[in-house]
């Protein structure tokens, strides 16, 4: 009996899309529905990262490193901040093994349980005044575990979306998952702004800062059910199988596709380098220099994130006109030009610092909006599921993990020219990788 006799009817209101792998096979989940799952998943992920990043400036130097001066306290906090990016590829490798053995729903549930447990652990963690150095070790441990959970939470939806989006609108659909970054930042920064503004300093440092971590746990639970609702369906499974999207072992990926992983990671480096230099770094630099009120900075950053949402949407339109790789390269050049003005803007008064933040967020939306579309396009279909996950992991590791630590440390020592150098290096890496990438790219 043919398998087609067992195909369930198409649910009402869901359109039929044709996969890139087999134009004769039909899927029952529209790209729009996949896009919703991508946005929900990425928003919860970025929210967790920004909660920790903002706390690394406003809270951790006082709560976990009270023995250090302002600069060293921030540098210690940023060192632990990088741990999640270091452990993230290991989480991807571990949970790909879990998926091969027990399936996608077990993998995703276990990964988000690990992530939520680590986040909740931070929320309940006593400070240095109670546990001494053990509080620092526990914070570092929870951050490492958080990175493992992040790596394991890869659901394959961005790869599936890229393959099922209409060819003439792939730039548009590629940007949708990237909307999670500014949305996640708005939620995290908005929570911290409310608490920091409404509470006395002692109350905020005692218990107020913990609430965003509680919220992060709740957001992960909601995101889990929203993604499982899509991931466990027969239609999703069928689309993955038709597209040959399967969890490949990390060893095989590195052996056969290592060049694509690293080229894809470096192709988006300018975007990832800019990511934390307009979010976490300005907050830390202004806190250190005491040039303006931190609540005012958070308000400006919230406005910047709103601009980033608009620019991310615009990047989808631009990419569909001129191509995703051209869009990423073009705005990498703009980031390089912007880097030249970093010392003038961040070294000035509040107005110039605000301009740095707002322009930086605009460029972030325009460039980061197409980062995901580029990193998946080189892989053959069967490698895209794992390849896209590892490429994203290494892009975060190379481009963003150490950005606040390096930028703040070098700027304190040598001046804000270090920020220019960091961004320019990202621009050079992006342009070089895109140049090499062109020779290897497989049309998606």
pLDDT digits (tens, 9 = 90+) for 233-246: 666 666 666 555 67
What pLDDT is recorded for position 13?
Answer: 41
Helix (H, G, I), strand (E, B) or coil at 278: coil
**Residue 2 confidence class, pLDDT cut points 50, 70, 90:** very low
Count of CA atoms in the C-beta half-sphere (13 A) of 251: 1
What pLDDT is recorded for position 164?
Answer: 67
DSSP secondary structure of 299-331: HHHHHHHHHHHHHHHHHHHHHHHH-HHHHHHHH
What pLDDT is recorded for position 5?
Answer: 40
Higher per-residue pLDDT: 166 or 182: 182
Per-residue pLDDT for 28 more than 60? Answer: no
- Residue entry with tokens 């209101």: 13
Per-residue pLDDT for 26 more than 50? Answer: no
What pLDDT is recorded for position 22?
Answer: 42
Tens digit of pLDDT for each residue in 313-359? 999 889 888 888 888 899 999 999 999 999 999 998 899 999 999 99
Instruction: Give the span between the Cα atoms of 250 and 394, in whole angstroms.
Output: 13
Per-residue pLDDT for 154 more than 90? Answer: no
Instruction: Give the span between the Cα atoms of 102 and 74, in whole angstroms.
Output: 41
What pLDDT is recorded for position 54?
Answer: 95
What pLDDT is recorded for position 174?
Answer: 76
**Residue 15 confidence class, pLDDT cut points 50, 70, 90:** very low
**Model confidence, pTM:** 0.85
- How high is the mean pLDDT of the chain? 83
Which of the residue ranges 14-18, 97-101, 260-264 would you say has the lowest mean pLDDT? 14-18
What pLDDT is recorded for position 235?
Answer: 64
What percentage of the chain reaches a pLDDT higher than 90? Answer: 46
By C-alpha distance, which of 154, 125, 152 is closest to 214? Answer: 125
Higher per-residue pLDDT: 90 or 34: 90
DSSP secondary structure of 154-198: --SHHHHHHHHS-GGGHHHHHHHHHTHHHHHHHHHHHHHHHHHHH
Which of the residue ranges 22-31, 146-155, 186-195, 395-404 would you say has the lowest mean pLDDT? 22-31
What pLDDT is recorded for position 171?
Answer: 74
**Residue 21 confidence class, pLDDT cut points 50, 70, 90:** very low
CA angle 280, 343, 75 (to 5 degrees): 35
What pLDDT is recorded for position 9?
Answer: 46
Instruction: Give the span between the Cα atoms of 217 and 51, in whole angstroms.
Output: 11
Contact 300, 184 (CB under 8 A): no
What pLDDT is recorded for position 248?
Answer: 80
210: tokens are: 């913990």
Contact 163, 21 (CB under 8 A): yes
What pLDDT is recorded for position 20?
Answer: 40
What pLDDT is recorded for position 233?
Answer: 66
Tens digit of pLDDT for each residue in 98-140? 988 888 788 888 888 888 889 889 999 999 999 999 999 999 9
**Residue 160 confidence class, pLDDT cut points 50, 70, 90:** low
Q: What superfamily in CATH does domain 31-442 come from?
A: MFS general substrate transporter like domains (1.20.1250.20)
Which of the residue ranges 204-208, 228-232, 235-239, 240-244 would you say has the lowest mean pLDDT? 240-244
Give the mean pLDDT of 251-268. 82
| Alpha carbon 265 to its chain's center | 13
**Residue 30 confidence class, pLDDT cut points 50, 70, 90:** low
Give the mean pLDDT of 150-173. 73
* Domain ranges, ordered by start, for the chain: 31-442
Tens digit of pLDDT for each residue in 270-322? 998 898 899 999 999 999 998 899 999 999 999 999 999 999 999 988 988 88
């Amino acid at each position: 009996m043919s398998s087609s006799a067992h195909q369930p009817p198409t649910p009402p209101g869901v359109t039929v899309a044709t996969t890139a792998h087999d134009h004769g096979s039909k899927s029952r989940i529209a790209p729009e529905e996949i896009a919703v799952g991508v946005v929900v998943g990425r928003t919860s992920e970025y929210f967790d990262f920004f909660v920790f990043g903002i706390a690394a400036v406003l809270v951790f130097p006082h709560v976990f490193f009270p023995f250090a001066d302002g600069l060293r306290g921030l540098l210690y906090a940023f060192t632990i901040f990088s741990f999640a990016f270091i452990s993230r590829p290991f989480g991807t490798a571990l949970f790909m093994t879990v998926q091969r053995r027990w399936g996608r729903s077990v993998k995703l549930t276990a990964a988000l349980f690990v992530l939520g447990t680590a986040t909740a652990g931070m929320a309940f963690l006593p400070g240095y005044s109670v546990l001494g150095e053990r509080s620092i070790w526990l914070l570092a441990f929870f951050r490492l575990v958080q990175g493992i959970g992040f790596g394991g939470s890869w659901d394959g939806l961005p790869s599936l979306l890229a393959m099922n989006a209409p060819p003439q609108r792939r730039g548009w659909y590629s940007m949708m998952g990237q909307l999670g970054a500014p949305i996640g930042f708005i939620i995290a920064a908005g929570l911290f702004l409310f608490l920091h503004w409404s509470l006395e300093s002692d109350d905020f440092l005692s218990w107020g800062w913990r609430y965003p971590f509680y919220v992060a746990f709740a957001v992960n639970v909601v995101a889990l059910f929203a993604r499982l609702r899509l991931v466990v369906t027969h239609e999703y499974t069928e689309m993955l199988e038709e597209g040959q999207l399967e969890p490949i072992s990390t060893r095989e990926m590195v052996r056969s596709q290592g060049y694509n992983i690293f080229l894809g990671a470096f192709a988006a480096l300018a975007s990832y380098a800019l990511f934390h230099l307009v979010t976490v770094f300005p907050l830390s630099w202004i806190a250190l220099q005491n040039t303006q009120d931190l609540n005012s900075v958070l308000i400006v950053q919230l406005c910047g994130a709103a601009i980033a949402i608009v620019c991310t949407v615009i990047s989808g339109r631009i990419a569909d006109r001129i191509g995703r790789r051209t869009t990423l390269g073009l705005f990498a050049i703009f980031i390089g030009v912007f880097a030249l003005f970093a010392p003038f803007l961040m070294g000035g008064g509040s107005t110039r610092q605000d301009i740095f933040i707002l322009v930086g967020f605009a460029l972030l939306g325009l460039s980061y909006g197409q980062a995901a579309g580029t990193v998946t396009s080189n892989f053959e279909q069967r490698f895209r599921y794992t390849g896209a996950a590892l490429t994203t992991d290494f892009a975060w590791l190379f481009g963003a993990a150490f950005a606040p630590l390096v930028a703040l440390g070098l700027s304190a020592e040598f001046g804000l020219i270090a920020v220019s150098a960091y961004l320019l290096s990202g621009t050079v890496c992006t342009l070089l990788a895109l140049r090499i990438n062109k020779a290897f790219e497989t049309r998606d």
